[in-house]
Structure formats: structure tokens, C-alpha cells
Chain A
Amino acid sequence: MIRAALALCVALLAALAPLAAQDSMPPAPYAYTQLEDPRLEAEASALMHTLRCLKCQSQSIADSDAAMAGDMRHQVRTRILAGESPEQIRRWLIARYGDYVSYEPEVSATTWPLFAVPALVILIVAAVLLRRLGRRRSDADDDAGETA
């Protein structure tokens, strides 16, 4: 029974394989090859961890094995090698795909409430706490005054 189930699974996988067909081309030169200069590679790697893979949207391009992520890593490394700063490369990608492509939080017309709301909440909490604590202290002072 288990064997039959296994055989069925294998057959299903074999049937599904063509659906997942990707290209058979070798990856771009810098998709899986690090830069020679460790300092530049560190810069590139840090940037790649904060860029979204467009094919597999919950991964960064550093984590993804999708061919397109490889091509994006190639872009990042060759641009770093050509002297561009990580921020320039991020801007270049954001100009093409919107800030969705970047995992680095960005304050923009649509995202500012995300930053404003917590600040507002902290202010409100601070105001309430100050009022309550202030009241309690003056109560305590009054008590002290009465017992003296």
C-alpha cells in the first residue's frame, strides 16, 4: 500500500516536472560567484539581503535560487564592481519596480502612517501616564499634608 502510494507520488512528480520547466542556460557570471574584493562582496551581500526576489516574493535575492534572482545578483555585483553605491543600486531598482522591491523600510506617501501611528501612540500613552502619575503624586502629597 505504502509502496503504491510512493510510486504514485513519483509518477505525479515526474508528470509535474515539465510544468516547472525553467531555462537550461548557465547562470549569469556573478549570480553565484562572489566578488574578489571581500569589502565589495560584503557591501553587495548586505544589499542583496534587503532586495526582494520578484519571482519568489517572500525571499530576498540572496536567499533565492530562482534564475531571475541570480540575474539580479549579477546586476548588484557588477554595479558594485563598477563603483556604484548600494543606495544607488537600490534606487535604480526602486525606479523600476517601486519600493516593493526593497525590504528596507521607506517613508513614502503610502507608508508614512506606519511610522506616524506608533509615535502618536507613544505620545498619547506618555501624556496619560504623566497625568495619572502626576495626579497620584499630588494625592500622596495631600495625604502627607493631612497626616502631618
Chain B
Amino acid sequence: MRNRLFLWVPLALFAFFAGLAAFMLTQPKDEFVESTMIGQPLPDFALKPAFGGLPGAAKADLVGGQPRLLNVWASWCLPCIAEAPQLEELRQKGVEIVGIAIRDRPEDVADFLARYGNPYSRVGSDPISEVQLAIGSSGVPETFVIDSKGIIRYQHIGDIRESDVPKLMAELEKAR
């Protein structure tokens, strides 16, 4: 009798794994690759200005004073248009936002900022995603909280929605 019960074990195992697979298929896929640079110092970089209107960006511009936001974006990126009003709102709350424009042209950057507003104090041009890779960012837009010592404290992946603004303000406060 005991032996017969034992015979059901493989079937039970199979049912368990089939059920698990079926369940996982219904779960939404998480496409985001999070940076593992949180808590690490910003790597050294110095980027040329992305367009004529603002200076470029270097690590030194993000160290000292108040915590800042480092916004990785591009004029060819649609979600970047969606987050423009939220970046403007953050700027009005007194947050300094340093931009890094990925694979972009000066005229496109200028056109984008003229059209959707310019929340940045500086915008560096990263034509080969060099700095983007160095900070562990895997797409545009992404926003990093950098504390006054130049340590990366928080990463926001994707466009900043209205509902993300309080969280970012809280992270900036925590980084103080």
C-alpha cells in the first residue's frame, strides 16, 4: 500500500511544475534591468554640451551642495516627452536636474527643449552611451538621485509620472 502511494509522487511533481509554469505565464514580464550601482560613487565622466544653450556635464557638477537628479534622456525618445512636465515641476520645487542626452544631435536637443520646456541646469552629450553604460542605465528615460558626495542613491526607470514626484522628492530628502 505504501509503495502504491509512492507511485504518485512523479505525477504530483509534474502537476506542481506544470501549475507553476502556467501561473508564471500569467504574470507580467518585468523588462527592467535595474542598475547595481546604487550606493556606489558616480563614475568619472566629462561630457561636452549637448547643444549651444547650456554647459555640458561632468561628475564634478554633481558633487557638493544639494542632492541632484541626473536625468538620462534623448530627443528621439517618446516617454521623455511625457515626463517633461514632471521634470519642470521638480525644477520649480528647487531641484537641480542635470541631463545626459543619449545619441543626440544639438539641433534636435534644442528643438526638443524649445518645444517641451527646459528643466535642466546642464545637458551633456553622450553620443555612444558611454556614461549611460558606466552608471548601469539600460534605457531612456531614467532618473538617478545623486547625493552631495556624488553617490548614486536611487534609480527611477521609465518616464516620471505625476505619482512618482513625491517618491523622488522623498529620495532627494533622504539623500540630503
Interface residues of chain A, those whose CB is within 8 Å of chain B, are 19, 21-25, 28-29, 54-55, 57, 67-68, 71-72, 74-75, 93-98, 100-101
| Residue from A21, A25, A101 whose CB has the most chain B CB atoms within 10 Å | A25
Q: How far is the CA of A137 from the CA of B146 in the complex (A)?
A: 71
Interface residues of chain B, those whose CB is within 8 Å of chain A, are 31, 33-37, 74, 76, 78, 102-105, 127-130, 132-136, 138-139
Interface of B is mostly: loop
CB distance from B29 to the nearest CB of A (A): 9
Q: With A68-B138, A96-B136 in contact, do A54 and B76 touch (Cβ < 8 Å)? A: no
Closest to B76 in A: A23
The answer on a CB contact under 8 Å between B138 and A55 is yes
Q: With A25-B105, A96-B134 in contact, do A57 and B129 touch (Cβ < 8 Å)? A: no
Q: With A95-B36, A96-B36 in contact, do A25 and B136 touch (Cβ < 8 Å)? A: no
Closest 10 CB pairs of A and B: A96-B136, A71-B129, A54-B138, A28-B128, A23-B103, A25-B103, A23-B76, A98-B36, A71-B128, A54-B33
Closest to B37 in A: A96
| Residue from A22, A54, A55, A100 whose CB has the most chain B CB atoms within 10 Å | A54
Q: How far is the CA of A71 from the CA of B132 in the complex (A)?
A: 10
CB distance from A17 to the nearest CB of B (A): 13
The answer on a CB contact under 8 Å between B76 and A22 is yes
CB distance from A5 to the nearest CB of B (A): 29
- B133 interface neighbour in A21, A75, A94, Cβ under 8 Å: A75
Q: How many A-B contacts are there with CB distance less than 8 Å?
A: 64
By a CB distance below 8 angstroms, the chain B residues around A29 are 128
Closest to A95 in B: B36
Closest to B138 in A: A54
The answer on a CB contact under 8 Å between B105 and A57 is no
CB distance from B110 to the nearest CB of A (A): 15
Q: How far is the CA of A94 from the CA of B136 in the complex (A)?
A: 9
Q: How far is the CA of A98 from the CA of B138 in the complex (A)?
A: 12
The answer on a CB contact under 8 Å between B36 and A25 is no
By a CB distance below 8 angstroms, the chain B residues around A71 are 103, 128-130, 132-133
By a CB distance below 8 angstroms, the chain A residues around B134 are 96
Q: How far is the CA of A100 from the CA of B35 in the complex (A)?
A: 11
The answer on a CB contact under 8 Å between A25 and B127 is yes
The answer on a CB contact under 8 Å between B76 and A96 is no
| Residue from A21, A55, A95, A97 whose CB has the most chain B CB atoms within 10 Å | A97
CB distance from A72 to the nearest CB of B (A): 7
CB distance from A23 to the nearest CB of B (A): 4
Q: With A23-B103, A25-B105, A71-B129 in contact, do A100 and B33 touch (Cβ < 8 Å)? A: yes
- A98 interface neighbour in B34, B78, B129, B133, Cβ under 8 Å: B34
By a CB distance below 8 angstroms, the chain A residues around B129 are 28, 67-68, 71-72
CB distance from B35 to the nearest CB of A (A): 6
The answer on a CB contact under 8 Å between B33 and A101 is yes
Closest to B136 in A: A96
CB distance from B2 to the nearest CB of A (A): 17
